[in-house]
Structure 1
């Protein structure tokens, strides 16, 4: 399949596989996945069923702005004295309340991380080293057989300099900006870069 065939996506059947999408959409998903990993990996490791895990979650919720609302949104109606007892580890919540506390904690942590995109930018910039991007070509199973290409493969790239703009585009929901960023990324491939305008998956090593 020629590069033009990928540019005119769907002419030969690549669009029959719903997993084949424009790189800008796959990049957006990859950024969301990387953000979720950063939120989880930087969070409290001890489960809420342990005294340590409960106290850590309650300390976070009671010391950060929005914690009380996060607890209320998760369904916690306990009085302040009970909240302090949970925070100090002198009283154990019922299982349903433990689940609600865990939900409130992760929701608040995610909200706080999203409110400070500079942290995510720094994570992806990696002190100037950038982030590894793994580009999976479109799945050609549904492409007309004479138009399939045997030489497409997973392409790894170490990508720098685009992550501030990429995070801004993600936060703003700006698909046009993500498209421009994706064009910049695949421009570092060889003359076959057009074959990666559409992809089946993008993975970020962050």
Structure 2
């Protein structure tokens, strides 16, 4: 079994870690509010999401939103505007709470029916000298258990997500090392 890549891009290859591509795809499936937080509509949508119930408020506090309920009410009523630090806290709390809320749904969908087919697109070698280029091909893989990757993504633990990705791609056999870095990973839930 090959070792993990330690010096990716040394000869000019471009790509991202497969685990990062999986995190991006899971983020896309999550369906965050598209309007930026700097717009009034985006701010209000995030605040309503974080304050719609006592459970949501508690989750927001655990995720790092440290302002008082009175301050949140002033923001919702338009009497005050959050500072840049508060905007960052709101965005971070919103993404964390949204991930936690969507994780169960994603797990059910991704694990259902025997797993989910994942398309793996190889990294870009256009800048690599021909002598050092490898023959890479599009690959697909059925991942049957998504519990560990989704749990790592929910906790924003990229190291655990990377380990879960490597565990999943070892099913490709001796060529799994070609999929550690990719240009894209695609799947649907």
Specify the TM-score bucket, using the shorter chain as the normaliser. 0.5 to 0.7
Consecutive unaligned residues in structure 1, runs of 5 or more: 1-6, 21-25, 188-193
Gaps of 5+ in 2: 11-16, 153-159
- Number of residue-to-residue matches in the alignment: 171
Q: 1:84 to 1:33 in 2, by over 3 A?
A: same
Shift of 1:137: 8.8
Match in the other structure for 1:34: 25
1:108 matched to 2:97: yes
Residues in 2 aligned to 1:167 and 1:76: alpha-carbon distance in whole angstroms: 30
* Residues 46 and 124 of structure 1: CA distance in aligned 2, closer, same or farther (over 3 Å): farther
TM-score when normalising by structure 2 = 0.61
Give runs of aligned pairs for residues 38-187 of structure 1, distance below 5 A.
Answer: 38-39=29-30, 42-64=31-53, 65-71=55-61, 74=64, 76-78=66-68, 80-87=69-76, 89-96=77-84, 97-113=86-102, 116-119=103-106, 122=109, 130-136=117-123, 152-153=135-136, 155-160=137-142, 162=143, 164-168=144-148, 171=151, 173=160, 179=166, 181-184=168-171, 186=172
Once the two structures are TM-superposed, the CA of residue 31 in structure 1 deviates from its matched residue by: 2.4
CA RMSD of superposed structures (Å): 4.3
